[in-house]
Chains A and B, each alone.
Chain A
Amino acid sequence: MSDKKKRQMNRRDFLLSTASGAAAFTIVPRHVLGGWGGTAPSEKLNIAGVGVGGMGKNNLKNLGDENIVAICDVDEKYAGKVFDEYPQAKKYTDFRRMLERQKEIDAVVVGTPDHTHAVISMMAMKMGKHVYCQKPLTHSVYEARMLTEAARKYKVATQMGNQGHSGEGVRLICEWIWDGAIGPVREVHAWTNRPVWPQGIERPKETPAVPATLDWDLWLGPAPVRPYHPAYLPFNWRAWWDFGTGALGDMACHVLDPVFWSLKLGYPTAVEACHSYEVREMWKRVDNKETYPSASMVRYEFPAREDMPPVKLKWYDGGMLPPRPEELEPGRQMGKDGSGVIFVGDKGKLMCGTYGDSPRLIPEGRMREYERPGKTLERIEGDVGGHEKNWVRACKGGEPACSNFDYAGFLTEAVLMGNLAIRCPGERLNWDGENMKVTNVPEANEYVRRQYRQGWTF
């Protein structure tokens, strides 16, 4: 399938002109999203939560109108309170057992660490269950591609947990950019203050006993075996290559979301990264293969799309930032909540916060002058808080959720390409997105896909 066609399948096209909408409908007919055995809007969905201690807990809360029939977590302590909140739900530690045993599950919410997103989501989809999966969709580029294709094949309703995508801000950004508010965009800067957890550290040597409340082997899932250590959980797994996806994985699915949508991005053609190192002894740079670096910068190049020129996208994390634009008045915050985006157009600049929120043309004088276009994009009920329900409607035969895997898969792949580039610092990697191949640095391809531990399949 051509890149162009794949792009046409992105969710955004469902909301665009009738022409592209019609093409997209040909590929993924709308009715399949409910499909045979679909839950009628009047009925309640039977939802299972996998990984409910962290973000999963919030997702379930927003799904409180449905039936929460099963809860699965490998960490009884971390998930304990949530277990108590849903006394009627059956409790599991192994999602595979849960999915095999509890046949009435219609839909699954995946809120585990990144390294288990793909296996859980894939198994659920293969069983015909709808999936809401936390961001980033997967741990590797390959997994994202496979999940995206599976979602299409099994015709289930999907949504990635980049809730900003349901927000007003992201829509305004698209409408303004498509309106030509800042002219053609050739350069974008996006950043986050993450990581706010330790990175650039080495694997702990101590091997404390596994808490009785934790199923360590299941927590590891498809990742290579290593001894338990509290350095990995409940949250700091983000730092570790085997489990998390670093600052990019945590935040870029939010921060880059409005960039991706408004600029209609597909696969990048080139990606290059550089990053900081730790030095603990003179002249010895730590070549760390255990955790992500404390700071990194990724430069993406995207080719021309439709009527838009090629664009360079620059990502900064760990304290790195683009230069403050001259247009930003003294004292004004750059971005919001620690992250943000600056779109640099031929005719102006647009800035927004972490979740595409608070978009403004800068300077503020430009914003005031700007005659806003009509709100042509459909709004999501409940704004960012309605992201889960947006998916529920899709599960019940409504239109595809706004960040379904046809969109979120592309976005996740681009995000994870940044991590792939971080593994090969200083190399400008030419990317053949269609074939998931780095064409000029063969060894980089080892990071496209990862090996699963024995007993785990995809």
Chain B
Amino acid sequence: MRRNKASSKREPASISRRDFIGGAAAVAAFTIVPRHVLGGPGQTPPSEKLNIAGIGVGGKGAGDIGAVSSENIVALCDVDDKRAGETFEKYPGAKRYRDFRKMLEKEKNIEAVVVATPDHIHAAASMMAIKMGKHVYCEKPLTHSIYEARMLTEAARTQKVATQMGNQGHSGEGTRLICEWIWDGAIGEVREVHAWTNRPIWPQGIDRPEETPAVPGTLAWDLWLGPAPYRPYHPAYLPFKWRGWWDFGTGALGDMACHIIDPIFWALKLGYPKSVEAVSTKVNSETAPTASIIYYEFGAREGMPPVKMTWYDGELMPPKPEELEEGRRMGSGNGGVLFVGDKGKLMCGCYGKNPRLIPETAMQAYERPPKTIPRVEEHHKDWLNACKGGKPACSNFDYSGPLTEVVLLGNLAVRAGKRLEWDGENMRVTNVDEANQYVRRDYRAGWTL
């Protein structure tokens, strides 16, 4: 632990997962997080099935549970009987809970949990599981606050559990190709990157509803709130619409940036940014704005020059590059990335999909380097493999924690409304003190991280 800290002081990115697969550098990483610890004593051998519990099993959680259903699904927890109903029925042998704390205390046989609650619960649920030595697959963004992401990352390391964030594009071919091409010098040095999403496609920029309808009998509202401050129930918050509300979700950034920025983070070996600045439509204290732009600045890394990364959401976009042929779309429907190198441009869709040098003639002319990064069969299986003593999952918290921090720093900047200088190591805005109130949030009485 101490060694991790010392090393991250110089170069926080050096502890990221990418180093595990990055040749000589991997040796250093192995020194820090020895591979054998990820199985640890009492690990499940590959031939046996894991006992998995789901926390938040409607919505995205239903898909995640389905993706690990080759294992024993021993318990399911959800605060919303109605939304989780289908999943409950699908796994009749699984014990049902509304409160994950009770579940984890009672069901001693649980070895791993899949967390797919709204964002504001991710950290509390994952942390409790990690502290109990359970492996964790947690949906993106890893947490609701930067502090939580840091704590989870450190806890996963201390507890030596197998972790994976649900940014499934990280297991994809596209993300790997992007890394290999950029490291090959396909577009030269990258000093500028643009990333965008069409989100939010749920209401944002709105005020708190005043009506106080009755809580449906199928919903444990107080548990749904979890560590968030108490407020009366309203259907404006769930299902799904919690994304727009500061107390629960993390806006367009939180929904999509862990996917979209992922290939940038990996390919450009990003760590903590030096500064971040946000501009947006009207900011209110209740919901994220309808559209925003975040300007990030990262310092030089390992033979790579400083880079400016600009994030656009709410359908705002970077200008169409001249290299893009008439009629070709920018990225994919959910968003995309444009890497601007000294010697060319690379564009991809959401999830790092479909990377292309532009114009297409540059792609055709490009002699691709060998595929040096190991390929992953499937994102959930990658994690299951890690749980059973295999190598760390590709988006384990050592990688996805810092990625999430960068994403959440965007929200912090939106709320602060000023250009912020960031001391990543110490999780502090150094030039605007009041902005530090958004680094960490207070938990409601009865809830701890």
Contact = CB atoms under 8 A, between A and B. Distances in A.
Interface of A: 272, 274-285, 294-295, 297, 299, 316, 318-321, 323-324, 330, 425-426, 428, 440
Given A282-B202, A282-B240, A272 B319 contact: yes
Contact of B326 (A278, A281, A324, A440): A440
Contacts of B295: 323
Interface of A is mostly: loop
Q: Name the 9 nearest CB pairs between A and B, nearest first.
A: A276-B291, A323-B295, A321-B279, A274-B317, A428-B320, A324-B419, A299-B319, A295-B281, A319-B281
A393 B308 CA distance: 51
A178 B330 CA distance: 38
Given A274-B316, A276-B291, 11 more contacts: A274-B315, A276-B315, A277-B314, A279-B200, A279-B290, A282-B240, A294-B281, A319-B289, A323-B277, A426-B330, A428-B320
A326 to B, nearest CB: 9
15 contacts: A272-B320, A274-B315, A274-B317, A277-B291, A278-B290, A279-B203, A279-B290, A285-B201, A285-B315, A294-B281, A295-B281, A295-B314, A319-B281, A323-B277, A324-B277
Given A272-B319, A275-B315, A330 B203 contact: no
Interface in B261-320: 277, 279-282, 289-291, 293, 295, 308, 310, 312, 314-317, 319-320
B315 A425 contact: yes
Given A282-B241, A319-B289, A276 B202 contact: no
B164 interface: no
A294 B241 contact: no
Given A276-B315, A282-B240, A294 B202 contact: no
A281 B240 CA distance: 12
B279 A283 contact: no
B43 interface: no
Given A285-B201, A295-B281, A320-B279, A426 B317 contact: yes
What's the interface size class on B, roughly?
20 to 34
B411 interface: no
Contacts of A276: 281, 290-291, 314-316
Contacts of B282: 294, 319
Contacts of A295: 280-281, 290-291, 314, 316
Given A276-B315, A282-B241, A294 B201 contact: no
Contacts of A323: 277, 295, 308, 310, 419
Contacts of A277: 290-291, 314-315
B204 interface: yes
Interface string B165-203: 000000000000000000000000000000000001111
B431 interface: yes
Contacts of A320: 279-281, 291, 293, 316
Contacts of A330: 431
Contacts of B314: 276-277, 295
Interface in B198-229: 200-204
A413 B200 CA distance: 33
A276 B279 CA distance: 13
Nearest to A318: B281
A316 B316 CA distance: 11
Nearest to A200: B290
Contacts of B312: 274
Nearest to B315: A277
Contacts of A279: 200-204, 290
A316 B312 CA distance: 13
Contacts of B279: 316, 319-321
Nearest to B313: A276
Contact of B316 (A275, A278, A281, A283): A275
Nearest to B199: A279
Contacts of A440: 326
A319 B282 CA distance: 7
A319 to B, nearest CB: 5
Nearest to B296: A323
Among A285, A323, A324, which residue has the most Cβ atoms of chain B within 10 A? A323
Contacts of B320: 272, 426, 428
B291 to A, nearest CB: 4
Nearest to B196: A274
A318 B317 CA distance: 15
Nearest to A324: B419
A315 B259 CA distance: 29
B314 to A, nearest CB: 5
A157 to B, nearest CB: 40
A280 to B, nearest CB: 6
Contacts of A294: 281-282, 290-291
A276 B316 CA distance: 6
Contacts of A426: 317, 320, 330
B20 to A, nearest CB: 34
A295 B281 CA distance: 6
Among A294, A295, A320, which residue has the most Cβ atoms of chain B within 10 A? A295
B277 A282 contact: no
Nearest to B312: A274
Contacts of A316: 279
